[in-house]
Each structure stands twice: as structure tokens, then as C-alpha cells.
Amino acid sequence: MIIGYARVSTTGQNLDGQTDLLTQNGCERIYSEKISGVKKERQQLDRMMDSLRSGDTVIITELTRLGRSVKELLSIIERIHEAGASIKSLRETWLDT
């Protein structure tokens, strides 16, 4: 399954641009939330991580939507790989596992 994750930092921001891009890139399910990236507790990210199965692909529009620090990003990417899934960033085209 192709799964998208979208996040904006404040409730005043709009998720439509991200969700449109994720849909255009084949995402069958999109987890989205309006919460600061510095927050450790992100319900939708946790739900997405719990739903991952071997062979799934997670698509994000850009790395900053997934995490705010290199350490956090690497931890999330490792968890995705441990689930047997891969990850792809639309902006950072080098991130396509």
C-alpha cells in the first residue's frame, strides 16, 4: 500500500497542497495532522507507523513534514524500515528507498 503523511505546524495552515500532491503520487491512505514538528506526541504519525506492513511505501512531500531534527528523522526512517516498508520524499528526490 502507498501511504502518505502530511503535517502543518499550526491550525491556521492548510494541508490541501500536501494532500493533493500525495494523492497525485498514488497514495491510497493519507495520515495528516496540524501539530508542531517539535511535539513528540503526534497521533497521526503514530497511527501511520502502527499500520505499516512489509511492502508498504510511505510518501512525504518533504523531510521537514516528517521531523525537525536529523536524529528524529533517522529514528522514524529506521522504524519504517524495521516494519519492512520504504520511504520516498517528493522534494528530496534522493530519499527513495
How is the beta sheet containing 2-8 ordered, strand by strand? 29-34, 2-8, 57-60, 86-89
The answer to whether 66 touches 43, Cβ cutoff 8 Å, is no
Q: Are 63 and 37 in contact (CB under 8 A)?
A: no
| Active site members | 9
